[in-house]
């Protein structure tokens, strides 16, 4: 594979019940950190994988019915922790971000999209079709806040399925070579959200599979520890979720050298995030 550089950090968090994330865990609140990835590609430059929370979340949820989203999730985000502000502290201006890969359209993954006016967006066609079709009054029930989506998104949006020829994959069936240079591979990971995608890439030090919310805890693909059934109503497809977990488990067993990163699994992410910016650390 062609190697890139990768930096991971948090941009806010919400609260969730531990026993909802993994059935049988304690009935206590845990932090679901909004993880984002900053990738440096040798030719494409700076690329973001998701954009975490911003304070726009509070504007998007200041009235009903979207306010229910805020009451349930209890989001915390400080201005200094927004992706745009973090990048500025690293010496990277918003206009330098030319590409953003959107794993799915839940608020903790797209909160910062409006901050990057020069970026081309990449997502699955299925994911965006749901955004377009879902009723504005009901969209919060699927984790979608349309206020967070840039008004010109359709001019800047590229669908993975239409810009890439699918390649055969012996576990997932297919994958997409995003820039046709073997640097970033996109995998379809539906279940938690319609059209959700993850990315596989390699740095000088390791291989990484960023699987977004394909699962919330690494125990899901290691020992098939599933969430509590109470969360099923918030998933796009419980059947697809279970199917994808089985595939990720097989991938993990076959590729033990690959670091699989679920966005909200603190056990995994706390070993990867950095208090100081170092694009060569991972």
Instruction: State the alpha helices, DSSP H only, in the chain.
Output: 18-21, 56-60, 67-73, 83-89, 107-110, 125-133, 153-156, 160-163, 219-223, 238-254, 266-269
Q: Output b/e per residue, 19-48; b: 16+ Cβ within 10 A.
A: bbbbeebeeeebebbbbbbbbbbeebebbb
User: CA separation (Å) from 202 to 88, 205, 223?
Assistant: 25, 8, 25
pLDDT score, position 87: 98
| Pairing between β-strand 45-49 and β-strand 166-169 as defined by DSSP bridges | unpaired
With vertex at residue 258, the alpha carbon angle to CA 172 and CA 181, rounded to the nearest 5 degrees, is 70
Gap between the Cα atoms of 250 and 236, Å rounded: 22
Predicted confidence at residue 226, as pLDDT, reads: 96
- pLDDT for 138 equals 84
Give the C-alpha separation, 48 to 54, whole Å.
15
* Nearest partner of 149 among 115, 125, 113, judged by Cα: 113
What is the reported pTM?
A: 0.98
How far is CA 234 from each of CA 100, 192, 219, 241, rounded to the nearest angstrom?
25, 8, 20, 12
Encoding tokens for residue 68?
């229910």
pLDDT at residue 234, as a whole number: 87
pLDDT tens for each residue of 170-221: 999 999 999 999 999 999 999 999 999 999 999 999 999 999 999 999 999 9
Instruction: Residue 197: name the closest of 129, 263, 128, 103 by CA.
Output: 103
- The backbone torsions φ and ψ at residue 159, rounded to the nearest 5 degrees and listed phi first, read -90, 130
Residue range 5-269 forms a domain whose CATH class is alpha beta
Side-chain half-sphere CA neighbours of 19 within 13 A: 6
How far is 274 from 152, CA to CA, in rounded Å?
33
Closest by CA position to 268, among listed 277, 259, 280, 279 = 259
Give me the pLDDT at residue 8, please.
98
pLDDT for res 29: 96
Spans of the chain, pLDDT less than 50:
none
Q: What is the pLDDT of residue 274?
A: 87
Q: Any residues with CB less than 8 A from the CB of 91 and at least 6 apart, and which?
A: none
Give the domain ranges of the chain: 5-269
């Amino acid at each position: 594979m062609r190697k890139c550089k990768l930096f991971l950090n948090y941009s806010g968090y919400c609260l969730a019940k531990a026993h909802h994330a993994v059935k049988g865990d304690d009935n206590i609140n845990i932090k679901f950190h909004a993880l984002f990835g900053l990738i440096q590609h040798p030719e494409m430059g700076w690329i973001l994988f998701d954009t975490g929370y911003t304070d726009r979340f509070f504007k998007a949820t200041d009235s009903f019915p979207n306010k229910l989203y805020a009451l349930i999730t209890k989001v915390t985000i400080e201005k200094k922790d927004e992706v745009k502000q973090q990048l500025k502290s690293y010496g990277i201006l918003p206009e330098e971000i030319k590409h953003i890969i959107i794993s799915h359209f839940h608020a903790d993954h797209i909160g910062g999209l409006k901050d990057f006016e020069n970026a081309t967006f990449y997502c699955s066609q299925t994911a965006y079709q749901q955004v377009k079709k879902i009723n504005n009054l009901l969209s919060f029930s699927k984790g979608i806040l349309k206020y967070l989506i840039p008004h010109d998104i359709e001019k800047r949006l590229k669908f993975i399925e239409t810009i890439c020829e699918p390649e055969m994959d012996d576990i997932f069936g297919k994958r997409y070579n995003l820039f046709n240079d073997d640097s970033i591979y996109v995998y379809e990971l539906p279940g938690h959200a319609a059209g959700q995608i993850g990315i596989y890439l390699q740095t000088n030090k390791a291989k990484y599979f960023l699987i977004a919310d394909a699962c919330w805890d690494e125990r899901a693909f290691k020992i098939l520890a599933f969430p509590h059934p109470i969360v099923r109503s918030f998933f796009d497809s419980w059947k697809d979720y279970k199917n994808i977990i089985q595939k990720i488990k097989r991938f993990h067993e076959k590729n033990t050298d690959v670091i699989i990163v679920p966005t909200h699994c603190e056990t995994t992410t706390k070993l990867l995030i950095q208090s100081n910016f170092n694009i060569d650390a991972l």
